[in-house]
Amino acid sequence: MTTRLTRRAALGLLAVPPVLIAAGTPVLAMEPETFQTDGIAINGIDPVAYFTDAAPVAGSPDHSVDHNGATWRFVSADNAAAFQADPEKYGARFGGYCAYAASLGYLAPTQPEAWTVYEDRLYLNANLRARELWLQDVPGNIVKGEANWPAILG
């Protein structure tokens, strides 16, 4: 059976209020502002440790802080307090999503070992190859990422 759209039916569609048409349009949910897995930010790594230990260090549930819709874990109460005092400094830029991907206009998860502290800010990458590409032009990639952020969250 073939369905044909007559001129009268087509004109009738034009009379449908835009509100009813919009009501049938799916709304896409935004991605969380912070990269997280099961509510835990940046793979459970203590973001302050990137500055103090120059390495990714697993945080503990005993030292947790809720910030930007995720739970951040820390190795100590001192690190948790430092983060709470200055989350802009210690929280990974671009919400802990891959900084290189952000510079290209999309989101990607990150791996703890692919990181950079540049001008006192933490940037994470999806993998070591993305980090290599990121390091080729860190200032330029930051400018591109800032232009895309936070619109790429959806």
pLDDT tens profile 99-143: 999 999 999 999 999 999 999 999 999 999 999 999 999 999 999
Strand intervals (E) in the chain? 36-37, 40-41, 60-67, 70-74, 115-118, 121-124
What does the pLDDT read at residue 35? Answer: 98
pLDDT digits 0-9 by tens, 140-154: 999 999 999 999 999
Contacts of 69 (CB under 8 A, 6+ apart): 32, 33, 34, 36
**What is the reported pTM?**
0.81
- pLDDT exceeds cutoff 70 at 46: yes
The full 3-state SS of 21-43, as one line of letters, equals HHHCCCCCCCCCCCCEECCEEHH
